[in-house]
Amino acid sequence: MPESLSAELAPKLAVELGLNPSEYEHVVEILGRIPSITELYVYSLMWSEHCSYKHSRKALRMFPTTGEHVLQGPGENAGVISVGDGWAVAFKMESHNHPSAIEPYQGAATGVGGIIRDIFTMGARPIASLNSLRFGTLDKPRQRYLFEGAVAGIGGYGNCLGVPTVGGEVYFEEAYEGNCLINAMSIGLMREERLMRAVAAGVGNKILLIGSTTGRDGIGGASVLASQEFDEKAEDKRPSVQVGDPFEEKLLIEACLELLDQELLVALGDLGAAGLTSSASEMASRGGVGLDIEVTKVPQREENMKAFEIMVSESQERMLAVVTPEKLEAAQAICEKWGLLSTVIGEVTDTGNFVVRENGVIVADMPADSLADDAPIYDPAMTRPAYLDEVQAFDPATLIHPESVAELTETLLRLLSSPNICSRRWIWEQYDHQVMVNTVVLPGGDAAVLRIGDTGRGEMTTRGIAVSSDCNGRYCYLDPYRGAQIALAEAARNVACVGGEPAAITDCLNFGNPEKPEVFWTFHEAIRGLSDACTEWGIPVISGNVSFYNESFGNPIYPTPTVGLVGLIDDVSVTATVAFKDAGDVIVLVGETFDELGGSEYLKSVHGLVTGAPPALDLELEAAVQSAVRAAVRAGIAKSAHDCSEGGMAVTLAESAIAGGIGCSVYLDDDLAGVSSLFSESQSRVVLTVAEGDMDGLLEIFDANEVPFAVLGQVGGERLHIGEKIDVDLNTMKLIFEHTLEKLVGGEMQTEELFEG
Amino acid sequence: MRFGVVIFPGSNCEQDVVHAAHHLGFEAEYVFHRETDLAGFDALVLPGGFSYGDYIRCGAVARFSPVMSEVIRFAEAGGPVMGICNGFQILAEAHMLPGALLRNDTLKFICRDTTLRVEKSTCQWLDTAPGTVLHIPINHNEGNFICDHVTLSRMEDNDQIVLRYCEPDGSRAEGGSAPNGALEDIAGVCNERGNVFGLMPHPERVVDPATGGTDGQAFFTSIVGTLAKVAG
């Protein structure tokens, strides 16, 4: 039995480590004694919000998690779906918000590193990354520092690994000023039969720690950073941020995939939040076995480390494997080939207990499943926030709106220069988005398209996946249920625009402090909305992450349930981009525009307001529109396809014209006021272009899917001409659209000046 | 025709080079950095990536890798060697090519398509007509080519400048067309003999039309023609 702490000290330390008194009592009950210091650290981490999902677990049960493509649902390091011909993809999205708010480069870099380890742990080679970012507005130097640092960190890590960063999204809103969001998504490819689970088995098997040495970095990251709000002492938490070494990770990828290829491992797990503690106890708990670990065997990079420090260190780039004694030598030889340390630190036992020794002396002895499964589950109180009635009752018609062609044109230019709409080229040109030569549709469109193929190592196919990540936090703030549904709708619509059929999603649920009833209500509503839409459309949730406590100085961020969706494409040679192609092509709107300015970029950019009811979403109509668009793209009829989202119809047309380098002339035949017709953000709309000769084929597709549509006009010329509403030349738009972000980051201009200049 | 594609720890474009060779119907195999036997290869490619993490000067560690002394011997015997991106940096560090690659003058990593003008050179790896404009992406943080003026004029006299960044019409902008600040817009150079070639752009990314253009094909097919002539 380990040496217990004193009865006075133990409960005090428990509270300091983030356990509440009743949780501490529960630990005492499980152990039947007062815990040792190592045990207290281990429980405090494993039962932290970050590791145990104690506030969210019940709500997450609403998600549908099974479906025809699903090979592995939630509960593992990543979810896995089958993509045809024996190929499978593993994917997951995860947050690294708090570390990035303190040290943006390392925070974002290690966020990428962590999610990529989750992917190759499943036996998949990482083939693509996406990232979903939120910051405060760029007029603040601190926000520019965070944004620039996070982008550089994502690039610095991903570029070094040779994993292309193919997509993502970014928004700048005051609500994220004290608490930026860095959500990283990774996708990996494997043969179905190679699927690997992190389940320890086989009494007497060896526990092999592979990769970096262990230091004091990141101690308490999960409990200190991820499970508390920020205040003025945030800077003091800098030592809790881990430092990334992408070179080591690249070697780990190659070594681990080779170990799996040669079938040398029983199980593989990565060391993420809560380090060795979480990885080992989860593996043991899933396998119903015990583990016996000797901490002095763990290679250390600092002197005099205590047992608990070794157990909870979040030093990066480490993996834990279970190997049979017969295969140990061969496994270690592969690690050596890649220049990696590999050390036997313990073995699998039949006790069901997670035992930690220091020089043979037991310093912790805990039932393994109590760490992973016995964490308390809470039913937090919920209250509908009072602000909702006020914002939802707001009527945009009470405002004075631009009406003349000159005013409306100026408004469009203002929207194109909004940091939430302008081109993201400045970001994605810092990311290697082509390595592995499978990127069919490059960043800058609605969704990225990747060919399925084991480049230079094995078979190449003509199959593909389409990927998109989306979430409009404003909509979620104004109506969390509908906002979450729109996040999914937009991701699926983006994927439909390149011809993809949604297969499954991962999510990253970013919210404030769940112990506040108003915050928890928004969380619960968002999950309910997302679940309802997932169920209706048959799109399962196969992995994800919850990030709570995203608050600073008591103010929560906008509820931000980010959706990362993967869709399937049978033939990557038939897809579409957002760019207009040839003069004379017919421009067609699928869907309908309504008077829906609530929560719009127009209201924010022009009137400085984030209010109103967000646009309505008809789940049936949305599915029909996506189906029609997908059919048109797959038939090879659609020469371009672009989803209508922030900024409305006018911005959609402008983006397609800028991307194609060719203008258009259209007439919007609706009965709406100019601003609504142009800037309303009604859902379930896509703008397609087709050759005139293909109109009959397109109409047949519309007919079969029973979707509303309107023929708007034609591609051609060097101007964006929207009859009686907008008239502007392409170059003016292009200059504003392409250069805004770089100028804002450089601190050269504020949006307002840029526009006036 | 059999290409050897060297893998240093941290290389990450090796599979793209192999795919490009396969796509064009050539054989290609990986050569691990610990190898010291290069028998059976007709040409070698040092691919892009971050060899040994490139935590100090890019390529500065890789040049001491066991395989490099064999690569040098291979080149001295007249064997063709191409270094792409990090491979170019390694060849420069190993003094197999003139010049050095500094950090981009933008201080940012750059991944984007570029237009390149083929110069009149002795390079055995490219038989495309001088003046031709090619579209090939770059993907690097340290591609800012530099050398002293003596070296530059020697390179010019010996026709060692193979590729220059240019405007879409083939002209060079006043103040430079290089996205990274490279001296004289230089994107690729060869040694005096023309068998060792280094370039920052990634031709292997534009070989398979399914995911790019085809402007990179010549960088793999030309050397096959050159070797056939030598053999003939």
Terminal CA-CA length for chain B = 14
Residues 6+ apart with CB under 8 A from A389: none
Q: Clarify whether B85 is annotated catalytic.
A: yes
Taking CB atoms and an 8 Å limit, are A434 and B15 in contact across chains? no
CA distance A599 to A473: 10
CA-based R_g, chain A, Å: 26
* pLDDT above 70 for A328: yes
Tokens of A338: 């890649």
Nearest CA in chain B to A165: B111
Q: Are A347 and A322 in contact (CB under 8 A)?
A: no
In what order do the strands lie in the sheet containing B43-46? B27-32, B2-7, B43-46, B81-84, B196-199, B186-190, B161-165, B110-118, B133-140
Taking CB atoms and an 8 Å limit, are B12 and A162 in contact across chains? yes
Looking at the complex, does the CB of residue A86 fall below 8 Å from at least one CB of chain B?
Answer: no
* pLDDT above 50 for B143: yes
Taking CB atoms and an 8 Å limit, are A572 and B22 in contact across chains? no
Longest dimension (CA), chain B: 48
* pLDDT above 50 for A117: yes
CA distance A414 to A400: 17
ipTM of the complex in this document? 0.96
Region B120-138 average pLDDT: 97
Region A428-433 average pLDDT: 97
Taking CB atoms and an 8 Å limit, are B19 and A437 in contact across chains? yes
**Domain ranges (residues) in chain B:** 2-231
The catalytic residue among A96, A401, A524, A739 is A96
3-state secondary structure of B8: coil
CA distance A75 to A64: 13
Task: Look at phi and psi of residue A314 and say left if phi exceeds 0, alpha if psi is from -120 to 50, else beta.
Answer: alpha
**Cβ atoms < 10 Å from Cβ of A35:** 26
Average pLDDT, chain B: 96
How many Cα atoms within 13 Å fall on the side-chain side of residue A306?
11
The catalytic residue among A50, A55, A98, A433 is A50
Residues 499-558 of A with CB under 8 A from B: none
CA-based R_g, chain B, Å: 16
Q: Are A259 and A334 in contact (CB under 8 A)?
A: yes
Instruction: Give this prediction's pTM.
Output: 0.95
Q: Nearest CA to B136 among B16, B1, B9? A: B16
Residues 6+ apart with CB under 8 A from A438: A127, A164, A450, A451, A452, A453, A455, B211
Q: How far is C-alpha A694 from the geometric centre of its chain's CA atoms?
A: 38
Tokens of A566: 């993967």
Tokens of A691: 């050759």
Distances from the Cα of A234 to the Cα of A179, A183, A219, A566, B171, angstroms? 11, 20, 15, 36, 53
Q: How far is C-alpha A698 from the geometric centre of its chain's CA atoms?
A: 35
Of the pLDDT bands very low, low, confident and very high (cuts 50, 70, 90), residue A236 is low
Taking CB atoms and an 8 Å limit, are B50 and A246 in contact across chains? yes
**Cβ atoms < 10 Å from Cβ of A719:** 18
Amino acid type, A242:
Q
CA distance A369 to A450: 39
Of the pLDDT bands very low, low, confident and very high (cuts 50, 70, 90), residue A1 is confident
CATH number of B2-231: 3.40.50.880
- pLDDT tens track for A271-301: 988 889 988 888 888 888 999 999 999 999 9
CA distance A493 to A705: 15
Q: Report pLDDT for A195.
A: 86
CA distance A128 to A450: 8
Residues of chain B with Cβ-Cβ distance to A251 below 8 Å are: 9-10
CA-CA-CA-CA torsion sign (A643, A648, A653, A655):
negative
Average pLDDT, chain A: 93
Q: Clarify whether B22 is annotated catalytic.
A: no
The β-bridge partners of A588 are A688, A711
* pLDDT above 50 for A757: no
* pLDDT above 50 for A131: yes
Of the pLDDT bands very low, low, confident and very high (cuts 50, 70, 90), residue A434 is very high
Q: Report pLDDT for A104.
A: 96
- pLDDT tens track for B172-226: 999 999 999 999 999 999 999 999 999 999 999 999 999 889 999 999 999 998 8
Q: Clarify whether B76 is annotated catalytic.
A: no
Tokens of A692: 């005139």
Rounded to a whole number, what is the distance in Å from the CA of B157 to chain A's nearest CA?
A: 36
Residues 6+ apart with CB under 8 A from A676: A593, A594, A595, A596, A597
Residues of chain A with Cβ-Cβ distance to B205 below 8 Å are: 434, 437
Q: What is the interface size between A and B, counted as CB pairs within 8 Å?
A: 99
Work out the angle at residue B63's Cα, subtended by the Cα atoms of residues B61 and B68, and round it to the nearest 5 degrees: 135
- pLDDT tens track for A348-357: 999 999 999 9
**Cβ atoms < 10 Å from Cβ of A538:** 13
Residues of chain B with Cβ-Cβ distance to A457 below 8 Å are: 15, 18
Tokens of A560: 């931000």
Amino acid type, B74:
F
Q: How far is C-alpha A145 from the geometric centre of its chain's CA atoms?
A: 21
Residues of chain B with Cβ-Cβ distance to A336 below 8 Å are: none
